[in-house]
C-alpha cells in the first residue's frame, strides 16, 4: 500500500465518521423536535383534557386530540399523569374509555412487535388504564411464555389488575414463583374476587403451599378480620411455616377469638413460634400470659428474650414487672434484658 492509498483510506474513514456523526446529529435533532412538539401539544391539551375528565360531555378535548399529529403519545402521557396524581384515576371510566378508543390498537401491535422496554411499558399502561379489551391478547401472550421473567411477572400482575383470576393459576405453573408475587396478584383483584380467591387458597385441598402462605400473609397485611377464624385454625396446621404465617397474621390483625390457642406456642421447639407468641401476647395485652412472658425472658434465644421483654412493656404495670424481674429473675440474661427495657422505658418517659 503506497502513501496515496493510505491517505485515501484515512480520508474515507474520516468522511465515514463525519457522515455517521451528521446522521446521529440529525436524528437527535429530529427526536428533539418531535419531543418539543409533543411537549407543546401536551401543554395545549391539558386544559381541555382536565375539563373532559370532569365532564365527559365536553368534547373539546376529543376534537383537539384528533387534530394533534402525535395524539396517541400525548394522550398516553396525559392519562398516565392523570392516574398518577389523582386517586380516582385508575377507576375512572373516562380513562378506560379514552384508552380503549385510542390506544388499544397501538398496544396490541406493541405487545407483539415492540422491543422489551416498549412491551413492559405497554403492560404497565394497560394495568394503569384498566384496558379490559386487551385481556385476550394478554392471555394469549401468557400462554406462549415459558419462563417467569420480568415480562411474564408483569403480564400476570396486569391480568390480575383486570380481575382475571387465571393469573393465580398461571403463577402456579412456576414452582419458583415467590410469595411476594402471589401477594401482588391478590392485592390487585377486586374486593369480592379477592375474598373468593383467599377462601380457595386457605382450603385444605389447595396443595400450593406458597399460595396458602401468601394468602395468610396478605390477610394479615390487609387486616381482613373476616378470615380470623380460618387463620386461627391454621395455628393447628402440621407444617411449621404455615403456623408461623398464621401467627404473623394474628399479630397484624391484633385480635384473637380464642387466646388459649396461643398457649402451646410458648413451649414450641421452634424459636420463631415462641417469639411470635410473645409478641402477640404483648400486642393483645393477654395478661394471662404475663407469667409465661416472665419465664420466656430467660429463653436461650435473644429474639425471644427481646420480644418477651417488649411484650411486658405493653401492659399497664409493665415497668413494675420488668423492675421486679431485673432484680429477681434467676437467669442472668433475663435480668439483663429486663434492665435494658426498663432503661428504655425510663428514657421514653423523659
Interacting residues toward other proteins by CB under 8 A? 43, 46-47, 49-51, 53-54, 78, 81-82, 84-89
H helix or E strand, kind and range, residue 328:
helix 318-328
The CB-of-36 to other proteins minimum distance in angstroms stands at 15
| CB 78, min distance to other proteins, A | 7
Choose between 54 and 143: whose C-beta lies nearer to other proteins. 54
Q: Which is nearer to other proteins, 43 or 180 (CB)?
A: 43
State how far the Cα of 98 lies from the Cα of 133, in Å rounded to an integer.
12
Say if CB 87 and CB 123 are below 8 A apart.
Answer: no
Q: How far apart are CA 101 and CA 288, in angstroms?
A: 63
Query: Whole-number minimum distance, CB 43 to other proteins, in Å?
Result: 6
CA distance 212 to 204: 9
Give me the least distance between CB of 90 and other proteins, in Å please: 9
- Residue 53 or 111 with smaller CB distance to other proteins: 53
Residue tagged 396458602 (cell numbers): 212
- Rounded Cα distance between 155 and 123, Å, is 6
Q: Say if CB 310 and CB 282 are below 8 A apart.
A: yes
What is the rounded CA–CA span in Å between residue 2 and residue 205? 84
Which one, 92 or 245, has the nearer CB to other proteins?
A: 92
DSSP sequence for 117-139? HHHHHHHHHHHHHT-GGGHHHHH
Query: In this complex, which beta carbon is closest to other proteins, that of residue 46 or of residue 339?
Result: 46
| CB contact at 8 A, 291 and 281 | no
Shortest CB 72 distance to other proteins, Å: 18
- Under a CB-based contact definition with an 8 Å cutoff, are residues 217 and 244 in contact? no
Q: Which is nearer to other proteins, 1 or 85 (CB)?
A: 85
Closest CB 130 distance from other proteins, rounded Å: 15
Amino acid at each position: 500500500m503506497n502513501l496515496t492509498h493510505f491517505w485515501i483510506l484515512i480520508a474515507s474513514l474520516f468522511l465515514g465518521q463525519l457522515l455517521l456523526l451528521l446522521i446521529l446529529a440529525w436524528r437527535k435533532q429530529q427526536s428533539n423536535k418531535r419531543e418539543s412538539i409533543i411537549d407543546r401539544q401536551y401543554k395545549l391539551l391539558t386544559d381541555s383534557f382536565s375539563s373532559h375528565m370532569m365532564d365527559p360531555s365536553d368534547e373539546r378535548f376529543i376534537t383537539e386530540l384528533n387534530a394533534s399529529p402525535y395524539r396517541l403519545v400525548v394522550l398516553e402521557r396525559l392519562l398516565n399523569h392523570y392516574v398518577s396524581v389523582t386517586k380516582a384515576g385508575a377507576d375512572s371510566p373516562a380513562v378506560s374509555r379514552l384508552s380503549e378508543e385510542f390506544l388499544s390498537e397501538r398496544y396490541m401491535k406493541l405487545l407483539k412487535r415492540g422491543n422489551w422496554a416498549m412491551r413492559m411499558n405497554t403492560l404497565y399502561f394497560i394495568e394503569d388504564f384498566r384496558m379490559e379489551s386487551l385481556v385476550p391478547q394478554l392471555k394469549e401472550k401468557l400462554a406462549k411464555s415459558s419462563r417467569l421473567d420480568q415480562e411474564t411477572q408483569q403480564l400476570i400482575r396486569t391480568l390480575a389488575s383486570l380481575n382475571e383470576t387465571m393469573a393465580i393459576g398461571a403463577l402456579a405453573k412456576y414452582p419458583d414463583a415467590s410469595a411476594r408475587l402471589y401477594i401482588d396478584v391478590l392485592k390487585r383483584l377486586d374486593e369480592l374476587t379477592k375474598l373468593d380467591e383467599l377462601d380457595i387458597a386457605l382450603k385444605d385441598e389447595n396443595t400450593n403451599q406458597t399460595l396458602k402462605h401468601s394468602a395468610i400473609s396478605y390477610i394479615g397485611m390487609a387486616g381482613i378480620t373476616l378470615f380470623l377464624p380460618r387463620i386461627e385454625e391454621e395455628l393447628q396446621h402440621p407444617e411449621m411455616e404455615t403456623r408461623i404465617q398464621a401467627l404473623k397474621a394474628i399479630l397484624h390483625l391484633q385480635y384473637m377469638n380464642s387466646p388459649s390457642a396461643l398457649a402451646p406456642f410458648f413451649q414450641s421447639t421452634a424459636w420463631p413460634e415462641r417469639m411470635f407468641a410473645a409478641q402477640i401476647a404483648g400486642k393483645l395485652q393477654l395478661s394471662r400470659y404475663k407469667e409465661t412472658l416472665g419465664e420466656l425472658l430467660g429463653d436461650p434465644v435473644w429474639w425471644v428474650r427481646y420480644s418477651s421483654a417488649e411484650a411486658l412493656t405493653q401492659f399497664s404495670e409493665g415497668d413494675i414487672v420488668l423492675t421486679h424481674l431485673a432484680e429477681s429473675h434467676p437467669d442472668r440474661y433475663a435480668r439483663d434484658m429486663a434492665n435494658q427495657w426498663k432503661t428504655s422505658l425510663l428514657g421514653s418517659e423523659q
